[in-house]
Structure 1
Amino acid sequence: MNKQLYIFTEGKPNRATIRNYGHEDFESLIDVQRLSFPPPFPEELLWNKEQLAEHVDRFPCGALCAEADGRIIASMTGLIVHMDSYGHIHDWATITDDGYIRNHNPNGDTLYVVDLCVIPEYRKSGIGKWLMQSMYETVVELGLARLLGGGRMPGFAAKAHEATPEQYLERVIRGEWNDPVISFLLRCGRMPVGVAHRYLEDEQSHNCAAIMEWRNPFHV
């Protein structure tokens, strides 16, 4: 994949590129992760070069990055799985092989999102939504049934004293509360199908994630 588009920074159009990343991008991708997920996010969960090499070698179609202003500003990674092997009750480490995607199954039915990150200064630019759209295009091109993934709920910690994770998600869906990740995924067309407890070590989400789906409207 290699496509040109415009994002908006400071209210002005800014040309950007979405493309597949390669071995030469690894240092920049790790820097993007470090900027996107500052502490208290565990540093050991940031990409390492061995994981990135597996992404590029096993499923290059699912290894995307975005460039603007002469640098990489965002990335998104996925793998293909057969959901009957996992079900909706799963955790990030199991379904992504701890981010190494050695369980990638070209004969699966679901493109599973391993990671999406955008550096802070570009988070209002629209590039995250364009990356998601690009992954939807990959789902359609490969004839898969769906895109699926767990969305962090970083606003949940502040509301945990008055709501369960499921109640929190429902109130975000009803528009009573806003969550920076879940609300973004809803705007991208993702539909919640449940909540996974003990999904990922994440204090802000109390280790929970909303499992959110996009169904391929062209899949028979």
Structure 2
Amino acid sequence: MTYHKQIYVWNGNTNQKATIRQYNETDFEGLIDVQQEAFPPPFPSDLWWNKDQLQNHISLFPEGALCVEIDGKIVGSMTGLIVDFDPNHPDHTWEEATGNGYIENHNPNGNTLYVVDICVRPSYRKYGLGKWLMHAMYETVVELKLERLLGGGRLPHFHKYANDLSIENYVEKVVKGELFDPVISFLLRCGRMPVHIVKNYLEDEESHNYGLLMEWKNPFK
């Protein structure tokens, strides 16, 4: 299966043509550049994509290796793998679920498309590209007849409220729309539903190391 879609996106002034497609080896420099721009220092540079990880993405599960391109420039990407998820045992870390980004644990016989990463250049975030990438992955879930798309969202504003709210209260208020969280609120707008709060999901001071598992269930399953 090869994914390729052209769309028009609104940049605030005009409509602009964008292409969502599977990335390949010739895109590696652009993909790494997107990460560097999106996560500048003091973000640890060893957490940006490296070429070995990207090579695994296109070799092990090319259907889950998507990028968005405008005027020949890579401006965002989204990566996933297939896992066998048991809703009765939801706890895991990002490293465990994604093989630390190398996706060597990709399971073609699994039931769930798991999000490894989604990233858009800051100067292009007003274009709505993250939502388009997410919907491209939903289409992949349907095409592959999987049960769901799943991933853990950071909670980058939790640290502002942690002295007054438990993580459960914080998530409840964000879901109700009483508080805004840049990641969780975005995922809700993309149609993702909260599933489970995971302690020590990833090392992230702003989120106090929590992650919120959120899913999109295949409506045809």
TM-score (norm 1): 0.96
Amino acid aligned to 1:147: L
Residues 82, 105 of structure 1: 8 Å contact kept: yes
Superposed, 1:83-94 pairs within 5 Å as: 83-84=85-86, 87-94=89-96
1:14 positional shift? 0.8
Residue 203 of structure 1: aligned partner: 205
In the alignment, structure 1 residue 153 sits paired with structure 2 residue 165: no
Counterpart of 2:13 in structure 1 is: 11
Residue 41 (structure 1) shift = 3.3
Two-structure CA RMSD over aligned residues (Å): 1.4
Aligned letter for 2:96? T
State how far apart, in whole Å, the 2-side matches of 1:137 and 1:205 are: 30
State which of 36, 39, 63 in structure 1 corresponds to 2:38: 36
Distance of 1:101 and 1:145 partners within structure 2: 19
> Is the contact between residue 197 and residue 208 of structure 1 (CA under 8 Å) also seen in structure 2?
yes
* Number of corresponding residues: 219
Worse-superposed segment, 76-85 or 132-141: 76-85
Q: Does the CA contact (< 8 Å) of 1:54 and 1:100 recur in 2?
A: yes
Offset from partner CA, 1:143-171 (integer Å, 9 cap, x none):
00000000111111111111122211111
Query: Counterparts of 2:23 and 2:88 in 1: how far apart (Å)?
Result: 28
Deviates further, 51-60 or 165-174: 165-174
5+ residue gaps in structure 1? Answer: none
Q: Which whole-Å CA distance do the structure 1 matches of 2:14 and 2:143 have between them?
A: 32
CA distance in 1, matches of 2:123, 2:92: 32
Q: What's the CA shift for 1:209?
A: 1.1
Seen in structure 2, the aligned counterparts of structure 1 residues 22 and 154 have a Cα distance that, compared at 3 Å, is same
The answer to whether the aligner puts 1:100 opposite 2:102 as a matched pair is yes
| TM-superposition CA deviations, 1:164-190 (whole Å, max 9, x none) | 222111110111110111011000000
Shift of 1:69: 2.7
Tell me the secondary structure at the aligned position of residue 31 of structure 2.
helix
Give me the identity figure in percent. 60
Q: How big is the shift at 1:201?
A: 1.4
Distance in 1 (CA, whole Å) between partners of 2:89 and 2:30 is: 34
Q: CA deviation at 1:86?
A: 9.2
Report the CA distance between 1:200 and its aligned residue. Answer: 1.1
2:73 equivalent to 1:71: yes
User: Residue 176 and residue 85 in structure 1: after superposition, are their counterparts in 2 closer, same or farther (change >3 A)?
Assistant: closer
Shift of 1:198: 0.9
- 1:180 corresponds in structure 2 to 182
CA distance in 2, matches of 1:24, 1:131: 20
Match of 2:144 among 133, 142, 145: 142
TM-score (norm 2): 0.95
Query: Is 2:9–2:16's contact at 8 Å kept on the other side of the alignment?
Result: yes
Asked whether the 8 Å contact 1:86–1:95 carries over to 2, the reply is no
| Aligned-partner SS, 1:123 | helix
Q: Report if aligned partners of 2:12, 2:126 keep a CA contact under 8 Å in 1.
A: no
Task: Please report how far the alpha carbon of residue 32 of structure 1 lies from its aligned counterpart in structure 2 after TM superposition.
Answer: 0.5
TM-aligned CA deviation for residue 131 of structure 1: 0.4
SS in 2 for 1:132: helix
Aligned to 2:165: 163
Matched, 1:132 2:124: no
